[in-house]
Amino acid sequence: LPQLPFWVTSGHTETLEDVAFRSGAALSHLHLVLSREDVHQSLLRARLALKAATVTSKLEGRLAREADIRGAYHLTPPGEARGPDGDLLAFWRASVRVRPNRIGEIADLVGAEFAGDVGV
Protein backbone atom coordinates (compact mmCIF):
# COMPACT_ATOMS: atom_id res chain seq x y z
CA LEU A 1 0.00 0.00 0.00
CA PRO A 2 1.23 3.52 -0.67
CA GLN A 3 2.63 5.35 2.34
CA LEU A 4 1.38 8.75 3.44
CA PRO A 5 3.84 11.33 2.08
CA PHE A 6 6.39 12.58 4.62
CA TRP A 7 5.45 16.22 4.13
CA VAL A 8 1.91 15.50 5.38
CA THR A 9 3.05 14.20 8.76
CA SER A 10 6.26 16.15 9.31
CA GLY A 11 6.66 19.19 11.51
CA HIS A 12 4.25 21.17 13.60
CA THR A 13 1.23 22.72 11.98
CA GLU A 14 1.25 26.35 12.96
CA THR A 15 -1.77 27.74 11.19
CA LEU A 16 -5.34 26.69 10.53
CA GLU A 17 -4.52 26.58 6.81
CA ASP A 18 -1.71 24.08 7.44
CA VAL A 19 -4.05 21.86 9.42
CA ALA A 20 -6.74 22.05 6.72
CA PHE A 21 -4.25 21.32 3.94
CA ARG A 22 -2.68 18.36 5.72
CA SER A 23 -6.09 16.99 6.66
CA GLY A 24 -7.17 17.19 3.03
CA ALA A 25 -4.00 15.42 1.93
CA ALA A 26 -4.57 12.67 4.48
CA LEU A 27 -8.20 12.22 3.38
CA SER A 28 -7.12 12.08 -0.26
CA HIS A 29 -4.59 9.39 0.61
CA LEU A 30 -7.20 7.47 2.59
CA HIS A 31 -9.50 7.58 -0.44
CA LEU A 32 -6.74 6.11 -2.61
CA VAL A 33 -6.12 3.31 -0.14
CA LEU A 34 -9.80 2.47 0.31
CA SER A 35 -10.46 2.38 -3.43
CA ARG A 36 -7.98 -0.47 -3.85
CA GLU A 37 -9.51 -3.91 -4.23
CA ASP A 38 -6.85 -5.63 -2.12
CA VAL A 39 -7.82 -3.66 1.01
CA HIS A 40 -10.36 -5.56 3.11
CA GLN A 41 -12.61 -2.77 4.29
CA SER A 42 -14.34 -4.90 6.91
CA LEU A 43 -10.98 -5.48 8.62
CA LEU A 44 -10.19 -1.78 8.45
CA ARG A 45 -13.58 -0.92 9.96
CA ALA A 46 -13.03 -3.42 12.79
CA ARG A 47 -9.59 -1.94 13.49
CA LEU A 48 -10.92 1.62 13.50
CA ALA A 49 -13.77 0.59 15.82
CA LEU A 50 -11.27 -0.92 18.25
CA LYS A 51 -9.13 2.25 18.18
CA ALA A 52 -12.22 4.43 18.75
CA ALA A 53 -13.36 2.24 21.65
CA THR A 54 -9.92 2.46 23.23
CA VAL A 55 -9.83 6.25 22.99
CA THR A 56 -13.41 6.55 24.26
CA SER A 57 -12.61 4.30 27.22
CA LYS A 58 -9.64 6.51 28.13
CA LEU A 59 -11.78 9.64 27.79
CA GLU A 60 -14.21 8.09 30.24
CA GLY A 61 -11.38 7.56 32.74
CA ARG A 62 -10.82 3.83 32.36
CA LEU A 63 -7.40 2.36 31.68
CA ALA A 64 -8.46 -0.47 29.38
CA ARG A 65 -6.03 -1.50 26.67
CA GLU A 66 -7.03 -2.71 23.21
CA ALA A 67 -6.56 -6.32 24.31
CA ASP A 68 -8.87 -5.79 27.30
CA ILE A 69 -11.58 -4.23 25.15
CA ARG A 70 -11.27 -6.90 22.47
CA GLY A 71 -11.50 -9.59 25.14
CA ALA A 72 -14.54 -7.99 26.78
CA TYR A 73 -16.30 -8.01 23.43
CA HIS A 74 -15.28 -11.38 22.00
CA LEU A 75 -14.86 -13.56 25.09
CA THR A 76 -18.13 -12.77 26.86
CA PRO A 77 -20.60 -15.64 26.50
CA PRO A 78 -23.84 -14.84 24.63
CA GLY A 79 -26.51 -13.37 26.87
CA GLU A 80 -24.10 -12.11 29.52
CA ALA A 81 -23.14 -8.48 30.12
CA ARG A 82 -20.00 -7.44 28.27
CA GLY A 83 -19.25 -4.58 30.60
CA PRO A 84 -18.65 -0.95 29.63
CA ASP A 85 -15.63 -1.62 27.43
CA GLY A 86 -17.28 -4.48 25.55
CA ASP A 87 -20.35 -2.31 25.04
CA LEU A 88 -18.16 0.51 23.72
CA LEU A 89 -16.66 -1.77 21.11
CA ALA A 90 -20.12 -3.04 20.16
CA PHE A 91 -21.25 0.57 19.70
CA TRP A 92 -18.26 1.51 17.57
CA ARG A 93 -18.52 -1.67 15.46
CA ALA A 94 -22.13 -0.74 14.71
CA SER A 95 -21.12 2.88 14.04
CA VAL A 96 -18.50 2.07 11.42
CA ARG A 97 -21.09 0.11 9.41
CA VAL A 98 -23.34 3.17 9.00
CA ARG A 99 -23.04 4.88 5.65
CA PRO A 100 -22.32 8.61 5.92
CA ASN A 101 -25.30 9.59 3.77
CA ARG A 102 -27.76 7.91 6.14
CA ILE A 103 -28.06 10.33 9.04
CA GLY A 104 -31.21 8.56 10.26
CA GLU A 105 -29.21 5.40 10.96
CA ILE A 106 -26.75 7.39 13.04
CA ALA A 107 -29.61 8.98 15.00
CA ASP A 108 -31.06 5.52 15.68
CA LEU A 109 -27.67 4.33 16.87
CA VAL A 110 -27.07 7.16 19.36
CA GLY A 111 -30.69 7.29 20.54
CA ALA A 112 -33.35 9.97 20.69
CA GLU A 113 -31.56 11.89 23.44
CA PHE A 114 -28.61 12.73 21.16
CA ALA A 115 -30.37 12.67 17.76
CA GLY A 116 -30.29 16.47 17.57
CA ASP A 117 -26.50 16.43 17.91
CA VAL A 118 -26.06 14.49 14.66
CA GLY A 119 -28.12 16.88 12.57
CA VAL A 120 -31.47 15.09 12.47
Q: What do you get for the CA distance between the two ends of the chain, in Å? A: 37
Is the pLDDT reported for residue 69 higher than 80?
A: yes
Type of residue at 7: W
33-48 pLDDT per residue, tens = 778 788 778 888 888 8
What is the pTM assigned to this prediction? 0.62
- CA separation for the pair 111, 94 (Å, rounded): 13
Is the pLDDT reported for residue 89 higher than 90?
A: yes
98-117 pLDDT per residue, tens = 766 666 676 677 777 766 76
Where exactly are the structural domains of the chain? Answer: 1-39, 41-118
